[in-house]
Every structure is written in structure tokens, then in C-alpha cells.
Amino acid sequence: MALEDQVDNLEKKVDMVLNLLQEFRYTFPTKKSVATFFGVSERTIDYWIKNGKFEKGIEYAIDNNGKIKYITDGILSHQRKLTSNDKENSNSDSNKTKTINPVASKLLESLSCLR
């Protein structure tokens, strides 16, 4: 096994252990704790529930008293989805070719001649 493969394997194991530790470390008893975890306001959590970004039975449940209870596994998996989407978006952004407006290009060329 090549050294690169061993390093990749080790990184995967470390990520797995960190994810397991994260699951034991977090609990979400309140809307405020969920908002803090995501770095958003409590109103944003309300909005996510209202518009279906948080799914009933996955990220939250409603008890017999009508109070919202947040489901730790669902919240953590939602965060993982957001993180993986961010990584995909940053990868696709880096693969895009940038085009410059022809007028801006001519302006830049003329400015570079002034140096």
C-alpha cells in the first residue's frame, strides 16, 4: 500500500472518529442551541421549519404538548449535507472559467501600457 493511500485511509478514519465524537457531544434541547450550532438566528430556525428545510420526524418532532423537540441525529445529518453541498459548490466554482467583458479587457490592456 502506497504512503498516499495510507494517509487517505488514516484521514477517513480520523473523520469517522470525529463524527462519532460530535454525535456524543451535541444535544439540542432548545431552538437557541440549534440556531447557535448553525450560526443563524432563532427566527431562521422557525423559517426553516415553516418552509420545509427542516423536516418533521427527521430534524424535529412535536410532543403531546405541541412543543418542538429537536432530533440530534437529524440536525447533525442536516449539517453534514450543508457541509458537503458547500464543498461541491466550492469545487464547481474553482472549475469555472472566468470571462472578462471585452470592454473591460481593452481597458485593462490600455492601463497595463501605462506602467
pTM: 0.55
pLDDT digits (tens, 9 = 90+) for 22-71: 666 677 889 999 999 999 999 999 999 999 999 999 999 999 999 999 99
- For residues 60 and 51, give the distance between their C-alpha atoms in angstroms, rounded to a whole number: 13
Instruction: Please identify which residue in the block is written with the cell numbers 427566527.
Output: 43
Distance of CA 13 to the CA centre of its chain: 21
User: Taking a C-beta distance cutoff of 8 angstroms, is the pair 58, 74 a contact?
Assistant: yes
User: Taking a C-beta distance cutoff of 8 angstroms, is the pair 44, 35 a contact?
Assistant: yes
Share of residues in the chain with pLDDT > 90 (%): 38
Instruction: Please identify which residue in the block is written with the cell numbers 439540542.
Output: 28
